């Protein structure tokens, strides 16, 4: 990971304090299949040292976790990622990244408690890992945006093709992002906030 985690510098830091002007806080979850960049996104955008629960991958995952497109991956999230970003002087987002490996998905229930919305990260080399993630969000009625993460050797498809492959309704916003880039990760979260805002002001779209 190219960002400091909570173990690197122990103890409270001045920059970790909540801005005094913050009036509202919103919980957002970052979800997606194994290795799509969830921890990277939370780490790149967080204004506090992100809390991560990365553990070294072991042989336990052999034959269970598909490493296609993530062959060099050595660590995986076993509980959650946590970060914070101030959208403006009044609004603070608390970010919770979920574990990607299906055997840790039982933890999702707690992580989703009180969440207003979700970012679903997608890797176009492994779209199939996103199906069950999206199903679970739809079952829970959590509004979400889909962010296509830019991996260098990932095929670039028009958004509408990806929408159709994922069977996503027209009203679900889709964006491209590079989870390593702070500005890009921030834009992705802004897309979610703007979508959540539109849901409160517009008549509910027709859902199947
Ligand atoms: N090129 C490129 N690499 C990325 C991007 N996002 C993440 N990566 C790399 O992909 C690997 C996996 O990223 P993680 O952030 O650990 O993925 P994750 O979704 O948290 O993985 P799990 O917690 O194991 O499910 C890391 O080596 C990242 O550096 C991206 O936008 N572009
Ligand atoms: Mg992770």
Q: How confident is the model over 145-172, as pLDDT tens digits?
A: 999 998 988 899 999 999 999 999 999 9
Residue 170 lies in a domain: yes
Residue 206 lies in a domain: no
In the chain, the largest separation of any two C-alpha atoms, in whole Å, equals 50
76 touches ligand 1 (CB under 6 Å)? yes
Q: Give the pLDDT confidence of 48-62 residue by residue, as tens digits.
A: 999 899 898 876 665
Mean pLDDT to the nearest integer, 183-193: 97
Q: What CATH number is associated with residue 131?
A: 3.40.50.300
Residue 60 lies in a domain: yes
pLDDT of 1 reads: 44
Residue 208 lies in a domain: no
User: Which residue has its alpha carbon closest to ligand 1 atom 12?
Assistant: 35
* β-bridge mates for residue 155, sequence order: none
Residue 35 lies in a domain: yes
Examine the pLDDT at 117 and tell me if it is beyond 60.
Answer: yes
Range of the domain at 122: 20-200
65 touches ligand 1 (CB under 6 Å)? no
Residue 2 lies in a domain: no
Q: Classify 57 as helix, strand or coil.
A: coil
Q: Contact, 57 vs 119, CB < 8 A?
A: no
10 Å CB burial of residue 41 (0-12, 13-18, 19+) is buried
119 touches ligand 1 (CB under 6 Å)? no
Residue 101 lies in a domain: yes
Candidate from 12-16, 72-76, 78-82, 122-126 with smallest mean pLDDT = 12-16
- Structurally, the chain folds into a number of domains equal to 1
Q: Which of 179, 183, 187 for mutating ligand 1's site (highest number of atoms within 8 Å of CB)?
A: 179
In which element (H, E) is residue 139 found?
A: helix 128-140
Ligand 2 center–CA 33 separation, angstroms: 9
Residue 174 lies in a domain: yes
In angstroms, the CA 22 to CA 88 distance is 8
pLDDT of 94 reads: 95
Q: Which of 5, 33, 37, 183 for mutating ligand 1's site (highest number of atoms within 8 Å of CB)?
A: 37
């Amino acid at each position: 990971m190219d960002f400091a985690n909570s173990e690197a510098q122990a103890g409270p830091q001045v920059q970790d304090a909540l801005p005094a002007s913050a009036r509202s806080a919103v919980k957002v979850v970052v979800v997606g299949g194994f290795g799509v960049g969830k921890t990277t996104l939370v780490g790149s955008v967080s204004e506090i040292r992100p809390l991560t629960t990365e553990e070294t991958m072991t042989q336990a995952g052999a034959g269970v976790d598909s490493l296609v497109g993530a062959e060099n991956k050595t660590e995986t999230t076993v509980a959650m990622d946590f970060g914070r970003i101030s959208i403006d002087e009044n609004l603070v987002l608390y970010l919770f990244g979920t574990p990607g490996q299906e055997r840790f998905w039982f933890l999702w229930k707690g992580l989703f408690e009180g969440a207003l919305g979700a970012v679903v990260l997608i890797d176009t080399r492994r779209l199939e890992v996103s199906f069950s993630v999206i199903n679970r969000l739809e079952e829970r009625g959590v509004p979400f945006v889909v962010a296509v993460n830019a991996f260098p050797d990932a095929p670039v498809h028009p958004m509408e093709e990806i929408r159709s492959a994922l069977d996503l309704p027209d009203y679900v916003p889709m964006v491209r992002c590079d989870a390593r880039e702070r500005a890009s990760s921030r834009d992705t979260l802004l897309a979610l906030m703007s979508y959540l805002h539109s849901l409160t002001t517009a008549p509910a779209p027709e859902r199947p």
